[in-house]
Amino acid sequence: MSTDILLVLVVGTALIFDFTNGFHDTANVVATSISTRALQPRVAVLLAAILNFVGAFISLKVAATIANGIVDAGAIRLQVVFAGLVGAIIWNLMTWWFGLPSSSSHALIGGVVGAMLVAAGPGAIFVDGLLGKVVIPALVAPVLAFLVAGISILFVYKIVGRLSPGPVTRGFRLGQIATGSLLALAHGTNDAQKTMGIITLALVAHGSLPTEDPQVPGWVVFSAASAIALGTYTGGWRIIRTMGSKIIKMDAAQGFTSQGSGAAVILAATHVGFPLSTTHVISGGVVGSGAAKRLSAVRWGVAGNMAIAWVLTIPAAGAMGAIAYGISWLAGGGTTGPVVVCVVLAAMILVMRVRRQTPPPIATEAAA
């Protein structure tokens, strides 16, 4: 009975994480399209939500045995996964509150690493894996997208620069719908897999699925797809504002090159199995397309805040995962601990909702 409750808690928390992943990452897909008026805001998030939902069904390769190669898989227990998810959810909510785009995947990895560190000690963390699968890609993703978008926009301005702006803008807006759709589809395919992987792992640990070659149940696919789509439709408007208009004031050509370069880099990385963060890629692309036009066109203060959030993501989500595991352990572990953590998390979300009407000074400053 108690393992059933723990399973329900982990599945529920995984779906909440999936939801926050959706609304946190909506900006990656729709911000540039909204900013350049390629699409109306509601239409953009609806399209992104539908394509995220469809994308979740495209591939069922559950490569997302979470933090695979980063932590000792043999030491992963449901309580660790639960605490890791809680750490990731809290970090996603905090960065959303400040309107900062940050990687949900890194938040999840950080949360699990932090919880694992407390649960099993440093021996359960593979530093090589962390370096190769997280740190190096985190450095490469924004720089590569920056270069691709920067070079692209220089060519684009050379090709269409002397033409009448009307048809050019209309053309690039049309192109943005295609590249934005590609991004949404890729996002659904990649990110919904993480939640499916977590739930499948929980079902295996519970004994509901065989340990040898477990198949992802249909309800898991459907619920993960629905959660990410619903989160996407809800839309993290604070992050959309940051990504769409606070970093650079972009024209349709810049919007197209950011999205097109982002889609190209993400798909190239996915094809060879190299893990890149959608957030890092798109942000790098946006900054690149702005900087190539004019360095002063980029609000480097906002870009700097984002970079700080990226650097902080793994340690901060890790610390929260560790605290969540600690609270759970102090409350008696087993099923009671996660229940107590759920109560604390629910109280935090309630407080954030109450305070939602009064954004902090940094958000007001960013909106100015």
Binding-site ranges for another protein (CB under 8 A): 58-59, 61, 68-69, 128-129, 131-133, 136, 140, 144-145, 147-149, 151-153, 155-156, 159-160, 163-164, 167-168, 171-172, 175, 178-179, 182, 185-186, 189, 253, 256-257, 260-261, 263-265, 267-274, 276
d(CA 81, CA 22): 19
Name the minimum Å distance from CB 112 to another protein: 17
CB of 58 to another protein, least distance (A): 6
Residue owning tokens 């929260």:
320
The single-letter DSSP state of residue 74 is G
The count of other CB atoms within 10 Å of the CB of residue 218 is: 8
State the nearest-atom distance from the C-beta of 148 to another protein, in Å. Answer: 4
With respect to another protein, which residue has the nearer C-beta, 174 or 308?
174
In the complex, the smallest distance separating the C-beta of residue 82 from another protein, rounded to whole angstroms, is: 25
Cβ proximity to another protein, 232 vs 335, nearer residue: 232
User: Which CB, 179 or 277, lies closer to another protein?
Assistant: 179
Whichever of 224 and 366 has its CB closer to another protein, that residue is 224
Residue whose CB is less far from another protein, 236 or 285: 285
Enclosing H/E stretch for 179: helix 165-206
- Shorter beta-carbon distance to another protein: residue 127 or 347: 127
Question: CA 183 to CA 263: how far, in whole Å?
Answer: 6
CB of 261 to another protein, least distance (A): 4
Q: Is 289 exposed, middle or buried (0-12, 13-18, 19+ CB in 10 A)?
A: buried
Instruction: Pick the closer one to another protein by CB: 109 or 149.
Output: 149
Q: How far is the CB of 141 from another protein (least distance, A)?
A: 9
CA of 297: how far to CAs of 170, 258, 291, in Å?
23, 15, 6
Burial 172-199 (b: 16+ CB within 10 A, else e): bbebbbebbbbbbbbbbbbbbbbbbbbb
CA 132 to chain centroid = 19
180 alpha carbon, distance to own chain's centre: 16
Burial class (CB in 10 A: 0-12, 13-18, 19+), 140: middle
User: Minimum distance between the CB of residue 289 and another protein, rounded to whole angstroms?
Assistant: 10
3-state secondary structure 23-78: HHHHHHHHHHHHHCCCCCHHHHHHHHHHHHHHHHHHCCCCCCCCCECCECHHHCCH
